Structure formats: C-alpha cells, structure tokens
Amino acid sequence: MLLLQKHRRLLFTLVSLLAVLLILALVLIPRFINRPQLLTGNAPNGNWTSSSWAPSNNTILGTAANTISNVWFTGHDGIISEVFYPSADTPNTTALEFLVGDSSHSWVDEEQTATNAHTQLYDPHSLAWTTLNSAKRHDYQIKKIIYADPTRSALIQQVTFTALKGTTLADYLLYVYYDPTMHDAGDKNTSYSEQSNGRTILISTDATGQYASALAASLPYQTGMVSSGYVGLNDGLTDLKATYSCGSSTCPDDTMNDTYSMAKRGNTAQTGLLDLSNNGTLNTTSATSITFQLVLAFGQGATATQAAAQTLNASLSDHNNQLARYVAQWHTFDDSLNQPPAIGATTQIQQAQQQEYYLAANVLKAAQDKQTGAFVAGLGTPWGNVNGDGDEGYHMVWERDMYEFASALIVAGDTADPKRAIEWAFTKQQQPDGSFPQNSFVDGTPHWTGLQMDEQAFPIMLAWKLNLNDQQTYTQHIKPAADFIVAHGPATGQERWEENGGYSPATIATEISGLVCAAAIAQLNGDTASEQRYLHTADYYQSNVVKWTYTTTGPLGNGHYFERIDDNGNPNDGDSITIGNGGGTYDERSIVDSSFLELVRQGAMPATSPYITSSIAVTDATISETINGNRYWFRYNHDSYGEHDDGSNYDGGGTGRLWPIFSGERGMYTVAAGGNAEQYLTAMLATANSSGMIPEQVWDNKAPAGYTPGTPTKSMNPLNWAMGEYITLLFSIEQHKMADVIPLTYHRYVLHQTHL
C-alpha cells in the first residue's frame, strides 16, 4: 500500500513537471522561433540611400571660444546635426540622436521626430545649450547639456534619460544613432566597432582613412549590441523600423537584429544599445532616471582612428568641470565687447534686444576657423536634407559676407578676430593679380569662379578700419587690389546676388569706398600718384552711377528709379535681363531691388538725394510686404531663389522669399536720414527662431499651407550676415549715425558734396 502511494506521488510529480515544461514551451518556443539570431560580420552592401546634409534651421550652434578645440556643432529639433572638424568648412555628420524603444519590443521612437524639443542657452553668455526633449507619447524625456570639450576636439553631451508615468528604466531600450559624413563626404565612409581602453567604441573614417570619429558614452553598450550598416539598407534605424529581417508575424519587430562589425565605403550609420544598468550597478526595475555623457571625438592624420579614440577616452575620463571652463571662456569674450545699448520702449524689450546682441556676437565668433582666422558665411547648407555630397553649402568664405559681419564685430568692440580674418584674406585668398575669388575654402582655395567687384573693395575697407596700413600690406595687398578695381571696374561680372553682371549700384558704391580707403593708405605710404588715381576713379564712378543705373523711362511708379542692374550702363535702352535660377527674362528696367541703398550705406550719396527717395517709393510698392506690423523686402521682383509655391525645397528654381537683412538695411538708411529705426530692429528680431537665430529668408504672405508668414524658411539659419546686421543696426540707432560707414567716403561725398 505504501509503495503504491509512493508511486502515485512520483507519477503526480512527473505529470506536474511535464505540465510546467509544456506551458513554458508553449510560451517560449514561439518567441525563439520568431526572433532570428543576431546577424554579425561585415554588413552586406547593396542599394543603400545616398547621403544628404541636415536641415539648416539650426536651434543649436556652438564651439569653444578658443583655438584649441577644432570642433563646431549645430543642431535642430533637439538633436545634433552637423559637426565640423578640423575646420569650419568641413562637416562630418548628418545626425547624432537617440532611438528609444520599449523593452517588450513593441515600438521604437526616433528622437528628432518623436519628441517635442525645448531648446535654450545653458548660459546667456555662452554657446552651451540645454534641450529638453519630451516624448510625444508622454512617457519619457531626454535632457541634454551640449558643449564642446574646450581642451580637445570632441563634442560632449551630458544626457539625462527619465522614465515618466510610473515606468522605470527597465521598461525602455535606449539606442545611440550616428550618421557620419566624414570629411565633407557621406557616401564614402567606413564604419566599424573596436575595443579601446576597456570600452566598445564606434569608429568612422573618410575614404582616405586620414580623418576619423569615435563615439561612446560613459555608459557601456550592451554586450554585442552595436552595429555599423548602410543607411536605408541595414543601418540600425532601418533594422529597428523596417520589415526586411522581421522575425515575428507582426512587422516591424522593433528589435535590433543586426550587429554588424563593419560597413565599408558607403553611406554608413552606427547604432549602439546602451546598458542603462551601467554593468549592473543600477537597479533599472526601480530607477527612473540616469545621467551620463555621450562623447563624439575626432582625429586626423596617419593615425586618425587612434587619435580619435584617444581623444574620446580622454574626454570621458576627464573629471574636471569642462562645462564650466567652456562657459567661462565665452564669458571672457562677451566681457570684452562693448556694452549693448538699451533700445526699446520697455525693459523687457531692451533686455531681449541686448541678449540677442550677445548671441549674435557669439555666433559670429563661432563662424571663424580656429587655425586660419577665416570667417565662413554660415555653418550649414540651405535645404540641406535634399542636398548631398558636392554641395558645399554656406560654410565657405565670401569676402562680402566676411566684411559685413567682421565690421559688425568691430562695432561690437572685437578687432582681434576681424584682424585675423583680413590677414588671412591677404595672405591665403588674394590672387597674384590682386583680385579675390568669388568664394573659397578656409585654406584659401577658390571654389566658384565668378568675378564680383565689390569683393575686391571690401578687403581694402576692412584693412582701413583695422589700421592695416604698413608699407608691406599696402604694396603687396592693398595696392594690387585697388589697381584691379581701377583696371576692371565699375562693371562687375556678378553683383551681390551672384547672378547677373553689369552696372550695379551696390557694387559701384563699394568700389567707390574701397578706392577712397586705398587712396588714404597710399597717402600714408607716400604713393601720391596712386592716391590721385584712386580718388579720380572713385569720383568718376560716383558722378556717373546715376547715369549708368538710374532709369527715367521705367514701367514702375513714375518711371524714375535705380535698376537692380544694367547690362551696359544705359538704363533707358530697355535691354533684357535673364533672372538666375529660372526666374525668367524681363526688361531690365522692370527689375528692382534695394541695393541702391548701399550708395548711402557706403557714404557715396546722401540719404536725402532725390534719386534715393524716388527709388525707395518704387521698391516699397514692388518688393515689400508687412507681416504682423513688421516691414520686410524681397531681394528683387521675380526672384526664384527659394522654396516652390507648394512648400517643396528649392532645387535650382522656386520662389524667392523675404530677407530679414533688408529690414536692417532699411533701418540703417533711416538712421542716415535722421529717422527712428527701432521698428526695423524689431522686425529683424521677430524673424528669429526659438533659439534667437536670424535666418536668411522668412515666409511671405503667400506662404504655402502649413507654414507661417514671417518665420524662417528652409534656407540658411542663422545667416551670419543677418546676425551682423542686427548688431550694426543696434549701435547705429544708439549713435544716431551709421556705425559701420567709412567716414572718409561720407565726408567726401555727403558732407562736402563736391562730387555729386
């Protein structure tokens, strides 16, 4: 009897055990069947997506305020976009962001689209940024403090990931996603993972292997959970969100199935799954928040990958307060500037405009290449997300742009940085015949081949402002440039919009002022013959600019106004002009812009001249709009440099939009005419995005559906020229005179009026 009971108990135990095993099998077997094994080795090459640049409406922009850290960074929608290294004209990234999923693998968010970003300056006198990216699903948030390592070529993000709504860290999977475009090319990268200093790091190189980036966090990646793949084919985002390797009946499986060790020569991207437990030191089932550093470092040369890895490890291991040092260096620069005036009807308005002044000055300083001193026009590419390798964007040097904001920095009290810039222009950019190229890279290599005569004069004017008038500078740089103007002016191959050649009021105004400055420097150096030749030529240009560019038979207004440009110096012959970017062909008398105001701005004509006032009436009626009480202007009528009417990106043609710099230029004219220009300062500030960046263009009153008039378009933001114009107008209002005018020119043609 006892034996029978014992057998029954044993049988019951076996049956129970089998039942449990069966239940477990029913639960677990489908899971293992549906989840494929991790794919490793080199990523299969194939039909990947070609690289493109980032959107250019930047809400994040910075660099260290020194010449040690050769890293510049930009960002939008709470993420890092383009990081420049080792020079200000060389972008290396398209995106550095987080991907967030749930631990049950039922969803994955891409940070830049799945969160609402609230971005602001970490400190009002630095270019460190804080962004709080809150999930649209409301269950997590990512806070970042973003800055550059002031002692190394590395970008640092101090990140805090927080679980909300009763969840804990165990409920989430946090991935780093990095899309490199190494050394200004995104389709020829090689990416892989390696071990360095006890941690797994993600390495990317350009085609030559001479430039490299290294990416890691102070948290480790989960063991084996890193991957380098081809964008749109088998990169991490595609793996997580697509269906090509889905291991379940419901796709996508929101699971990282690919752990490729390398992707060679293509548009690559890298992904790593972070270990939120920090190697088991944090209980993720109870913790709701974790703070860590994410570092992207760079290296160059024969040992670029080793250099990048060493920089990465040094930044991650540095326990000094690098953020405080970064901020302190920016404070030192801001403290060296002139105090901004209090302009505005209320204290709140005054403070907002003063804060914009410091931001503008810092953005301009950040546009300077650390090693050469050259200033780029903008850290980005207009409509970058539809442009890829071969599109150099605005991160090159135009003498026109450099003069405009170098002069603004001089107005602000910074002469050291503009001096470095003009010395670079003379020694690296100026050509053997004395001319300056249309634009160039920061090493001085010319890019586009147009001849723009105003760009021959601006360096002379900047040299005069900075008292660069010694014998060597004069004979080797200023005299050759002035001689070039005498030999090739007043007509220009291209005017300031780089589209048409001929006789331009703006170009001629600049040539006049440049020659007057050259004459003064020639006199200081005892070259009387050149002095007289330069003044004679300037007087000739000034006395004929109306004859060459002012029509009296035009179809607009009363028919009397300055044209945008005239092909042959006969503004009444009705010749045709073909607008750039597919804008069409028109009678040149019917195309107007506000560039004639440069005659006043450069001191070549009084603000009260009837030629000026009659032209203002025509341009205001033809190319101006008012938005929310603020006045703005188009470049010229029939301009096609802008988005299409349906809102799609500029692609070589489109519709030109409103430019905030023209509100600044009208404000400068108003100051010269003795009026109150505060409304134009207000108009400029009203166009800034949420981070205070003033753009190249804003939407007009015919903005496509989904876009708001007066807000930045998808062209360049910030435009450094616009940021500089804001500074110059601010001080001009306070001083009741144009703060950047060349006094020599103004005295000769306005105060004395002996050559009108």
pLDDT (tens digit per residue) in 317-345 = 999 999 999 999 999 999 999 999 999 99
Instruction: Give the mean model confidence (pLDDT) for residues 353-362.
Output: 98
For residue 369 the two structure tokens come to: 């290449």
The answer on pLDDT for 249 being more than 60 is no
Asked if 746 and 723 count as a contact pair (C-beta separation under 8 A), the reply is no
Of residues 631, 666, 657, 667, the one with CA closest to residue 712: 657
The answer on pLDDT for 756 being more than 90 is no
| β-bridge partners, 80 | 75, 96
Whole-model pTM: value is: 0.94
The answer on pLDDT for 525 being more than 60 is yes
How far apart are the C-alpha atoms of 339 and 71, rounded to whole Å?
Answer: 28
pLDDT, greater one: 741 or 38: 741
369: helix, coil or strand?
coil
Question: pLDDT-derived band of residue 22, with 50, 70 and 90 as boundaries?
Answer: very low
For residue 479 the two structure tokens come to: 């005299």
The answer on pLDDT for 116 being more than 50 is yes
Angle, CA 488 vertex, CA 483 and CA 489 arms, to 5°: 100
The answer on pLDDT for 434 being more than 70 is yes
Residue linked to tokens 């950047």: 740
Instruction: Give the mean model confidence (pLDDT) for residues 172-190.
Output: 98
Instruction: Give the mean model confidence (pLDDT) for residues 336-363.
Output: 98
The answer on pLDDT for 411 being more than 50 is yes
What percent of the chain clears pLDDT 70, i.e. is strictly above it?
93
Instruction: Give the mean model confidence (pLDDT) for residues 690-716.
Output: 98
Of residues 668, 660, 635, the one with CA closest to residue 721: 660
Peptide bond into 252 cis (omega under 30): yes
Beta strands (DSSP E) in 45-163 are 60-63, 72-76, 79-84, 93-102, 108-110, 115-121, 129-135, 140-148, 154-163
At 755 the pLDDT is: 53
Q: For 417-444, give the DSSP string.
A: HHHHHHHHIIIII--TTS---S-B-TTS
At 26 the pLDDT is: 36
| β-bridge partners, 110 | 99
Tell how strand 262-266 and strand 189-196 pair up.
Answer: antiparallel
| 162 contact partners, CB below 8 Å, separation of at least 6 | 140, 141, 142, 143, 288, 289
Angle, CA 244 vertex, CA 32 and CA 136 arms, to 5°: 90
How far apart are the C-alpha atoms of 59 and 78, rounded to whole Å?
Answer: 8
Asked if 708 and 53 count as a contact pair (C-beta separation under 8 A), the reply is no
At 56 the pLDDT is: 92
At 24 the pLDDT is: 40
Of residues 627, 637, 642, 684, the one with CA closest to residue 661: 684
For residue 299 the two structure tokens come to: 């290296």
Q: What is the pLDDT of residues 675-701, one digit of tens each?
A: 999 999 999 999 999 999 999 999 999
Instruction: Give the mean model confidence (pLDDT) for residues 568-591.
Output: 97
| β-bridge partners, 101 | 108, 173
Instruction: Give catalytic residue positions.
Output: 495, 498
At 223 the pLDDT is: 95
Question: pLDDT-derived band of residue 753, with 50, 70 and 90 as boundaries?
Answer: confident
Q: What is the pLDDT of residues 606-652, one digit of tens each?
A: 999 999 999 999 999 999 999 999 999 999 999 999 999 999 999 99
Question: pLDDT-derived band of residue 18, with 50, 70 and 90 as boundaries?
Answer: very low
Question: pLDDT-derived band of residue 257, with 50, 70 and 90 as boundaries?
Answer: very high
462: helix, coil or strand?
helix
At 681 the pLDDT is: 98
At 701 the pLDDT is: 98
The answer on pLDDT for 19 being more than 90 is no
How far apart are the C-alpha atoms of 522 and 529, rounded to whole Å?
Answer: 9
How far apart are the C-alpha atoms of 487 and 437, rounded to whole Å?
Answer: 16
**Number of CB atoms found within 10 A of residue 708's CB:** 11
Task: Indicate the burial class of 714 (C-beta count within 10 angstroms; 0-12, 13-18, 19 or more).
Answer: buried
Asked if 174 and 306 count as a contact pair (C-beta separation under 8 A), the reply is no
Question: pLDDT-derived band of residue 139, with 50, 70 and 90 as boundaries?
Answer: very high
**Number of CB atoms found within 10 A of residue 34's CB:** 14
The secondary element (H helix, E strand) that includes residue 584 is strand 584-587
**Number of CB atoms found within 10 A of residue 709's CB:** 17
At 752 the pLDDT is: 86
How far apart are the C-alpha atoms of 392 and 405, rounded to whole Å?
Answer: 20
Asked if 272 and 175 count as a contact pair (C-beta separation under 8 A), the reply is yes
Angle (deg, nearest 10), helices 505-524 and 528-549: 170
How far apart are the C-alpha atoms of 637 and 334, rounded to whole Å?
Answer: 40
Asked if 696 and 379 count as a contact pair (C-beta separation under 8 A), the reply is no
The answer on pLDDT for 244 being more than 80 is no
At 283 the pLDDT is: 98
What's the mean per-residue pLDDT of the chain?
Answer: 94
Question: pLDDT-derived band of residue 188, with 50, 70 and 90 as boundaries?
Answer: very high
The answer on pLDDT for 4 being more than 60 is no
Instruction: Give the mean model confidence (pLDDT) for residues 260-264.
Output: 97
At 36 the pLDDT is: 40
At 40 the pLDDT is: 78
At 280 the pLDDT is: 97
Question: pLDDT-derived band of residue 246, with 50, 70 and 90 as boundaries?
Answer: low
274: helix, coil or strand?
strand
At 742 the pLDDT is: 98
| β-bridge partners, 212 | 205, 299
At 251 the pLDDT is: 76
First to last CA, the chain: 131
How far apart are the C-alpha atoms of 399 and 496, rounded to whole Å?
Answer: 11
621-648 burial, b at 16+ Cβ within 10 Å, e below that, comes to ebbbbebeebbbbbbbbbbbbbbeeeee
For residue 393 the two structure tokens come to: 């964007």
- Report phi then psi at 180, rounded to 5: -85, 155
| 521 contact partners, CB below 8 Å, separation of at least 6 | 460, 463, 464, 469, 474, 478
Of residues 707, 706, 660, the one with CA closest to residue 687: 660
How far apart are the C-alpha atoms of 408 and 739, rounded to whole Å?
Answer: 9
The strand order across the sheet containing 630-634 reads 624-627, 630-634, 658-659
Question: pLDDT-derived band of residue 147, with 50, 70 and 90 as boundaries?
Answer: very high
Question: pLDDT-derived band of residue 250, with 50, 70 and 90 as boundaries?
Answer: low
Asked if 377 and 398 count as a contact pair (C-beta separation under 8 A), the reply is yes
What percent of the chain clears pLDDT 90, i.e. is strictly above it?
92
